[in-house]
Chains A and B, each alone.
Chain A
Amino acid sequence: MIETIRAAFVIARRDFTAIIFSKSFFFFLLGPLFPLGIGVAAGGLGSQVSRDIETTTIGIVLSPEEAEKLLATRARLSLSLGPKSLPDLLILNDVQDREADIVAKLDSDKSINAILSGTLEKPVLTGSQRDVGRWQGKIALLAETAIAQPVPVEIETRLVGQTGSSSERGQLLTAQGAQAILILLTMILAGMVLSNLVEEKTNKIIEILAAAIPMDAIFLGKLFAMLGMALVGIAVWSTLGLSVSLLVGVHWNALPVPAVGWPLFIILMIFYFSMAYLLLGSLFLGIGAMATTVREVQTLSMPVTMGQLLVFFLAYSSITKLGEPVEWFAVLFPFSSPFAMIARAAQMDNIWQHGLALVWQAIFTMIIIRFSVMLFRRNVMKSGQAARKKSLFARVTGK
């Protein structure tokens, strides 16, 4: 075992330095900027489109007194409800309170969504089904308030740190956020190990490695190297993210506190990321090891990503079902276990379960590595020229 670990570190050191000191690692570090940039651009564009679409104007065809009353009421209510919560009102002096005129105005003027006519006691709202359905309640509120002319009431507010329900909601949000981060990182990074043995097989180095060290050490070393690289990347991204958040003045103390507390939660995040990575990575490394060419690896990427998504859905769906069978399944099923457990860390404060979960995940990682090595030795290493021409399916199934 000691020799396997020693040999694994020889492989890990070689792979780690080869990756870290390569030019491509710089682009790897830049990787998250692309989705962030796309997210910001898409978000900005989306909100602009939304603003363009969602600005609603209701034309007013009322007597001048009632129209003024309604405008004043809107101005007053928007102070407490927010300006976007009520439609814009526009007095239409050129439109008579006749159905034909109102319909003609709606046809000709695209800036008006609906027209309010009649009186405040008996208002008539004309417009499309969507706009009428959406705004009739707000218009009724405006009309009722305008008629009643209530005295403005100032509400005294008293704030407390957290209520029971807000704390629970917050922890749920923390669980969702942590799980999403974990899954995103694992999806990005674990898939990279698919092609990890292709270089050795292409360059025939695998023969030298296989004659010198146990095959388990090769697999383990490659996983350690990629884990190290992933952790370096995460450290760089976290440092940058933290620096930017400090610069823009994010209030970290406003974030909902996870059940186990922030320090332990962050440590568990690192552990669970590592285990999720090792579990999925060992599986992908085993699958990728069966491939002889980069093309085969590329072909494998899609089903592998789909598999990850299934794990994600399983873990995500269990967040709100603590203690229920589906959540227990997500906790016990090795590939979803790290994600389900980080959700538990956000919502449950007992710590012992994390020790058990980490041991369970580590044992299963070793089982997968052993199984992958067995498949690799049986179906790839012992194959001669003729066997190398076998299909990927035949190699995986050993048929």
Chain B
Amino acid sequence: MHAPDPQFAIEARNIVKRFDGEAAVDGIDLTITKGSIFGILGPNGAGKTTALRMLLGIIDPDEGERFLLGSPDPISKAHQVGYLPEERGLYQSMKAYDAIAFMGALRGLPLAEGRKRGRSMMKAHGLGDATDKQIRQLSKGMAQTVQLLGTLVHDPDLIILDEPFSGLDALNQGKLERLIRDQADKGVTVIFSTHVIAHAERLCEEIAIIADGKVPFKGKVSAARDRLRPQVHLETRNLDGPWRSAIPADCQPLGHNWHFTLPENGVEPLLHALVEGGAGIESLSIERPGLHDAFVQIAGEAVARKMKEDSASNNGDETA
């Protein structure tokens, strides 16, 4: 067995999981540095949840090895881990603060301390009036917040959130993003899966893209974006002239607007050719590609389209 590296919160080497002979996760390698915010991107059914469940020790991989906080037995590190599953669940008859305390107690926090923290955390998150209410009396959003607080109540070193933004309105998505950043500022490693690229782009230093049970890309967000050349958006007064030789031959104008990839030789030769060639520049902007463009390039158009559809069906107010 390979020895775990202490700098990583998670190490997975060639983990495979098959259901009924079909690979849900097909040889994933992942290393997640301690203290980082890490996003796992992919459409529904790509294998994100299965991968997370294997990393957490809920299920065992059929092949490969995984280490969570340096241990091959993830449950033994459960006291240091917080986990919010995709399918939310709480005991309906429990009082809200007690549900938080129970989740802490599962991970080793004394019940009395959990109750104290539960009350103060709920107050801090604007749910002070709901502390003594039963879960069944709370709105869906409030219950989700209670479950999230239960994930954090024992001050974990590693937080794993499976589709945490799913089902939240824009306001609560913003709150959750702040909360994730706060945890990362405290040195906590945060891993979350999502099919909403915007969240990963805003929050993560590193991402892994999962498609069809494989990881075609894993690395820094900037590295994913750097896989594509910057895009040029140009508006000219003239439609023809010697300057056209500076524009890729297959680029067709949309009115007086031109959109093309920045040539290999950079901005200055392009600008020189446009000015000297009499293009009559009205406006010129050069944009670095977004993570979405990188995702399309890495995972393919079909996967990106599916992810957008998943996002639309799960959350009407979200956009990929």
Question: Which residues does A use to contact B, with CB under 8 Å?
Answer: 3, 6-7, 10, 13-14, 18, 22, 199-200, 203-214, 377, 381-384, 386-387
Contact = CB atoms under 8 A, between A and B. Distances in A.
A386 B50 CA distance: 13
Nearest to B150: A208
B19 A208 contact: no
A203 B58 contact: no
A215 B6 CA distance: 27
Main secondary structure of the interface of A (DSSP, over half): helix
A381 B59 contact: yes
Interface size class of B (residues with CB under 8 A): 20 to 34
Given A22-B93, A208-B106, A377 B59 contact: yes
Interface in B90-128: 90-94, 102-103, 105-108, 111
A384 B58 CA distance: 13
Of B92, B106, B107, the most chain A CB neighbours within 10 A belong to B106
Contacts of B83: 208, 211-212
B105 A384 contact: no
A203 B50 contact: no
Nearest to A4: B75
A205 B103 CA distance: 10
A386 B22 CA distance: 11
A204 B57 contact: no
B106 A205 contact: no
Contact of B106 (A22, A199, A200, A212): A212
Contacts of B94: 14, 18
Contact of A207 (B57, B85, B108): B85
A200 B87 CA distance: 12
A6 B108 CA distance: 8
Given A13-B111, A208-B89, 17 more contacts: A3-B76, A10-B105, A10-B106, A14-B91, A18-B94, A203-B92, A205-B89, A207-B85, A208-B83, A211-B58, A212-B78, A212-B83, A212-B107, A213-B106, A214-B75, A381-B59, A384-B19
A18 B24 contact: no
Contact of A203 (B17, B57, B90, B102): B90
Given A10-B105, A382-B59, A207 B78 contact: no
Contact of B56 (A3, A205, A211, A384): A211
Given A208-B85, A212-B107, A214-B75, A383 B19 contact: yes
B102 A14 contact: yes
14 contacts: A6-B108, A7-B106, A10-B102, A13-B111, A14-B102, A204-B88, A205-B89, A205-B91, A211-B75, A212-B78, A212-B103, A212-B106, A382-B17, A387-B20
